[in-house]
Structure 1
């Protein structure tokens, strides 16, 4: 991941989303120690306080938990929490935007569903 300082998304959120993706992709597992704020700061050339803010955001959402003196670890329910959050927040928002645009363009529900099925199939890497 490359942190984009010009993005409208704050850096600490970019860090949190990257860690979430690592957990979703199972590059980081339940009860595994996560990067420290200092490791993240060094990796992405950012302020340790910014990295800590990203980690604390995930801790506040129960994706991570703290072990005093040892650091932060991935919670057992992390994948489930992240999946639900992304479905209920990010995906819903995207669907709302696509639906609004479809209505403005006069695209009917059936045509939109065909488009979604095609994109879904392509995203999965096959013809389904």
Structure 2
């Protein structure tokens, strides 16, 4: 398990994002316990309150559940929920702007689809 932090966002948010990515990629599987606040605090040399705040974000997003006296566990369906969020972000970040730019260039839907198919055939993005 490897975490990387920078100055781009609050530490608790970066922790939450990285834990969510670990769930999405299957490092933490559904039903599996994630490291405790204490474990992460010691490993990352970070305030336990910061760790808890990040983990509570995932609880609020219904990705983790707290089990009193046992720790936090990945909820069933968490990976599917994250996949849906990633697809939506992909649409917002890439597809919507691609369509807008295509329209600006006078590329219609059929031409755009042909360009996308060409990209897949060439193995290029």
- Equivalent in the alignment of 2:92: 93
CA offset digits 1:1-48 (Å, max 9, x no partner)? 3111x11x3222211121122112211111111112222223333221
Give the direction of change, closer, same or farther, for the CA distance of 1:75–1:115 in structure 2 (3 Å limit).
same
SS at match of 2:72: strand
User: Under a length normalisation based on structure 1, what TM-score does the superposition of the two structures give?
Assistant: 0.73
CA contact 1:67–1:73 (8 Å) conserved in 2? yes
CA contact 2:5–2:11 (8 Å) conserved in 1? yes
User: Under a length normalisation based on structure 2, what TM-score does the superposition of the two structures give?
Assistant: 0.74
Rg (Cα) greater in structure: 2
**Count of matched residue pairs:** 119
- Equivalent in the alignment of 1:27: 27
- Equivalent in the alignment of 1:118: 119
Deviates more, 1:9-18 or 1:47-56: 9-18
Give the direction of change, closer, same or farther, for the CA distance of 1:18–1:116 in structure 2 (3 Å limit).
farther
CA offset digits 1:49-77 (Å, max 9, x no partner)? 11111111111111111110111000111
| CA-based RMSD | 2.9
